[in-house]
Structure 1
Amino acid sequence: MKASSVQQAFKSLTSRIHPQLPLSERESQRLLNALTSSFRTQLEQPHHHHQDDPSALTTSASVSPSTSTPQPLSSSTATDRHLASILTNPLLTKPVHQQLKAKSKHPVALFEDHVAAGRANLPSARLCLEAFRNSLSVLFPAQIKDQINRYAAGTRVLRWLWTSGQTHSLSFALDARFCNQLAFFLIHEGKEAALWELIDTPIAASSNLSLKENSRRKGLLLSSIVKTCLSAPDESLESALSAFFRALEASHSSHASISHAGVYLTQALPKLNYSSESDVLLYNRFVEAIPRWNKKHPDRAIYRIANLALHHPTTPSADPALDFIRELRPLASHPFLSPSTAFQRSTVFAFFFDTVKLLQKQSRFDDVLWVMEFMQQKFPGEFVPVNQPLSTASAPSQAPEFSTTSSHSSLPDWKVPEFG
């Protein structure tokens, strides 16, 4: 894929100033001046197109040979120019080495060394970002903010991605760990707009990616934004769900697939603490939106709604879960009843036990016994009373009988399988 004109100009400029060596302050300032002048000229051109003059809308056939009509910007070019305006920052032209007093190399300085030597790649960038983030864990919040702003690690890495042409294909999004680190630093550096530029920009005509693959990569980037918003030190449910709803409202074939972010939120929301009414309203809004991004898999929507109802922060309910189980009961087979991995089994069994736990808490003992009986029938080798030998668990004749008239005060104990 060819680099954009802005990228080529950037490479041309940098190649004249010793690209394999750290820049001196004078060289850094020359590069900054050249970049700023070049990008400002290109960024201002679209705003001088005589927008109120009807003659500006004439076709090329009616224009004299001595004049040239400015052409509308393609989406990829507009994105390049916006990223250029974000990445022409005086801080970025000063090598990290000059900001350090310690003899040991800072992770961001190591990354700059790799870029200067032409050895930078996603694994090395990821390791440097992870090392820098780990170093922040022992600092106070004010110190963390100072360090993030001082070294601008996310912006430096994004500039490398951009100049190497990786932002057009979003290939970096396939490395989840790298993508998560990049999103963390860019958001905390106040550069979230750059991430949204990449998500919102339609597919370039020269891209070899299918609509589905492009949408998937954008979805992985969106998921990283959502994860960052829910991570320390500034976790914000409002920011995470605002990002999700923004993508949901803009969802179309060339936009981000929201399934990755949606699944992550479905798993994360039950584990959060809700201290305000506004957070509860956001929780409810997310639940209501589930059918919109699960249109191709309505069963998954029903399960996810039921699971979130079990963990509602103020009014938990087991009724949607019971409805879901009733739909499963007469089926001979269903993907939910045939988990094939340890993670899937853990997810399925957690759903059943959370249902039982809530029903028992609400003194709905008949429903508790009904669900436990269903679990025994569908998973006879996994769930057995503690007084029943495991070797006979699968024998139908050994299955325990439950009666709705049983003593509610002495519900049977269950041996729960351990999964990773």
Structure 2
Amino acid sequence: MQSAAGRRAIATLASKLHPPTPLSTQESKQLLGLLTTSFRTHLDREHPIAHPNDTHRKSTSRTQLVEQSQTPHPASSYTSAHDHIDSILANPLISRKPAHKHSGNDAVRLLEDPVEWFLDQMAIGAADLPKALLFLQMAKENSTAQNTNMKSPRNPATIVTDWLQSSGLENSSQFLEMLVLGKKRGLLKTLFPMLMHDEKNQAPLWRWLTRSPKQRMKETGLSANRILVFRTQLLKEMGSYAYDSNRDEGLTIFLRALNMCKSGEHDFSLKMIQPLGGHLVGRIEREPSSGGSTNIYDLFLNSSSAWLSTWSKAVEAMLWLHHPTKPTAYPGLELIIASQGQESFMQNIHLSNSRRLFMVRLSFGVAQHLLDQEKSVEAQMAMRFAQQHFGDLVLPKTPHPERTSNEKTRQKKEEWSLQMLDNLLPT
């Protein structure tokens, strides 16, 4: 039988290796979620779903921000299992000994070192989405103030995405609805710019974007349309935030997504990428810049026919008008001349209000560019096109004769009524 001293020694050693047991209900759930998610991730990596087009995938131009290094398969089952176990043991829920409950006020610890505070919340299984948002906000403020008291060199946004993955929350309906529903987007609106601008880490975003829609439907119980909305908004946010830092990065994200759509990867569809494409065209129109790669810009310009139908002609004309090195109005002028002669372009496209306004801006842009080159005759053609097809948007509005007559009559009645009231009042 073991002596009392021996049992005490074993108990002391066990307490040093792991926090005291039994775990609380919340800690047990966190641990179970961590193990389940880790094993699923391991299986997905070791036994990926085969795609029929895998051998025919095309490579795309990528800048440093967008290039994703593919994780190589381990050389043996031993190294695979070793890496898998390491990923579990490295999680703060297991590896970190949380601070003593009486070590200080929680709010003070959050202010002094947000990273350490959130890691402790993860270690005791108390981390949740509101706390993650609070952590990111405080970490951002500390970073802005150049606080040097933070002990951990790790990136706050990456810590949160690692926690979302290990806890399984990134595959939950609660997480997806955060992006779909505007009122709950606080966490992601803080997380996105920190990941893309500060930490240069797009890997979690691409992981969320490329996860199988069928798998997400099974995990969340949401409809296929709801999943599509999530992926569409996620891609648009990625491209928009990337464009804020560098035009090339935003265009490259779009081109990468378009290439996946062409090759049938990850169930990407035109419906999913078109909103980002339209957003980028609008950014180029509103924020012309001579910087960036001409090759990437040309790739984006020439891709319009792949994600748009006949409307691509108008988009190409606008992109040529704002080309960074060789802007020209002639593609737009050619489109205007062809439309004047055959009406084919104007008849074959659906002109929503936004597209009508786009055509007006294109016409005026073409006219202005031609006037700058002293091509007044061609400029007048562009202006006549706008007046002929979009007169309600460009011509001054003249009052209707009957409406003017009625307004005058009403004004006279009001003046007569006021005069009668003046006569009735005592002097």
Single out whichever of 132-141 and 263-272 deviates more from structure 2: 132-141
Following TM superposition, by how much is the alpha carbon of 1:223 offset from its aligned partner in structure 2, in angstroms?
Answer: 1.7
1:268 equivalent to 2:267? Answer no
2 CA distance for matches of 1:157 and 1:348?
47
Following TM superposition, by how much is the alpha carbon of 1:315 offset from its aligned partner in structure 2, in angstroms?
Answer: 0.7
Summarize deviations over 1:179-211 as a string: whole Å, max 9, x none. 554333334445422222222232335636666
Q: Percent identity?
A: 21
1:193 equivalent to 2:203? Answer yes
1 CA distance for matches of 2:322 and 2:148?
34
1:360 alignment partner in structure 2:
371
Q: 1:373 aligns with which of 378, 384, 398?
A: 384
1 CA distance for matches of 2:336 and 2:154?
48
2 CA distance for matches of 1:228 and 1:143?
29
Alignment of 1:8-407 (within 5 A): 17-18=23-24, 35=34, 39=38, 43=42, 85=87, 89-90=91-92, 101=109, 128=134, 131=137, 135=141, 149-150=155-156, 152=158, 154-155=160-161, 158-159=164-165, 162-163=168-169, 165-166=171-172, 170-175=176-181, 177-178=185-186, 179-187=188-196, 188-189=198-199, 191-204=201-214, 207=218, 214-231=227-244, 235-251=245-261, 252=264, 254-255=267-268, 257-270=272-285, 271-276=287-292, 279-294=293-308, 298-329=309-340, 330=343, 339=353, 346-384=357-395, 390-391=398-399
The residue type equivalent to 2:379 in the other structure is V
Following TM superposition, by how much is the alpha carbon of 1:230 offset from its aligned partner in structure 2, in angstroms?
Answer: 1.8
Following TM superposition, by how much is the alpha carbon of 1:282 offset from its aligned partner in structure 2, in angstroms?
Answer: 0.6
Looking at secondary structure, tell me which structure has more helix per residue.
2
Following TM superposition, by how much is the alpha carbon of 1:142 offset from its aligned partner in structure 2, in angstroms?
Answer: 11
1 CA distance for matches of 2:331 and 2:224?
35
TM-score, length-scaled by structure 1: 0.57
Following TM superposition, by how much is the alpha carbon of 1:248 offset from its aligned partner in structure 2, in angstroms?
Answer: 1.6
2 CA distance for matches of 1:311 and 1:142?
44
Following TM superposition, by how much is the alpha carbon of 1:371 offset from its aligned partner in structure 2, in angstroms?
Answer: 1.4
Following TM superposition, by how much is the alpha carbon of 1:215 offset from its aligned partner in structure 2, in angstroms?
Answer: 4.1
Following TM superposition, by how much is the alpha carbon of 1:225 offset from its aligned partner in structure 2, in angstroms?
Answer: 1.6
Following TM superposition, by how much is the alpha carbon of 1:149 offset from its aligned partner in structure 2, in angstroms?
Answer: 1.6
Following TM superposition, by how much is the alpha carbon of 1:87 offset from its aligned partner in structure 2, in angstroms?
Answer: 11
Is the contact made by 2:109 and 2:117 (CA closer than 8 Å) also made in structure 1?
no
1:317 aligned counterpart, secondary structure? coil
The residue type equivalent to 1:265 in the other structure is L
Following TM superposition, by how much is the alpha carbon of 1:374 offset from its aligned partner in structure 2, in angstroms?
Answer: 2.0
2 CA distance for matches of 1:132 and 1:363?
56
Is the contact made by 2:248 and 2:297 (CA closer than 8 Å) also made in structure 1?
no
The residue type equivalent to 1:226 in the other structure is G
The residue type equivalent to 2:192 in the other structure is A
Q: Which runs of 5+ in 1 are unaligned?
A: 1-12, 49-80, 394-420
1 CA distance for matches of 2:149 and 2:391?
55
Summarize deviations over 1:230-256 as a string: whole Å, max 9, x none. 22xxx1333333322222222137225
Following TM superposition, by how much is the alpha carbon of 1:325 offset from its aligned partner in structure 2, in angstroms?
Answer: 2.5
Following TM superposition, by how much is the alpha carbon of 1:312 offset from its aligned partner in structure 2, in angstroms?
Answer: 0.3
2:323 aligned counterpart, secondary structure? coil
Is the contact made by 1:287 and 1:305 (CA closer than 8 Å) also made in structure 2?
yes
Single out whichever of 127-136 and 285-294 deviates more from structure 2: 127-136
The residue type equivalent to 1:376 in the other structure is Q
1 CA distance for matches of 2:260 and 2:181?
24
Structure-2 change in CA distance of 1:117 and 1:348 (3 Å): farther
Is the contact made by 2:161 and 2:204 (CA closer than 8 Å) also made in structure 1?
no
1:377 aligned counterpart, secondary structure? helix
1 CA distance for matches of 2:251 and 2:38?
34
1:299 aligned counterpart, secondary structure? coil
Following TM superposition, by how much is the alpha carbon of 1:292 offset from its aligned partner in structure 2, in angstroms?
Answer: 1.2
Structure-2 change in CA distance of 1:273 and 1:133 (3 Å): farther
* Greater Rg by CA: 2
Following TM superposition, by how much is the alpha carbon of 1:228 offset from its aligned partner in structure 2, in angstroms?
Answer: 2.1
2:238 aligned counterpart, secondary structure? helix
TM-score, length-scaled by structure 2: 0.56
1 CA distance for matches of 2:367 and 2:300?
24
Number of residues paired by the alignment?
Answer: 324
2 CA distance for matches of 1:345 and 1:134?
42
2 CA distance for matches of 1:127 and 1:359?
51
Is the contact made by 2:176 and 2:230 (CA closer than 8 Å) also made in structure 1?
yes
Summarize deviations over 1:51-87 as a string: whole Å, max 9, x none. xxxxxxxxxxxxxxxxxxxxxxxxxxxxxx99x9599
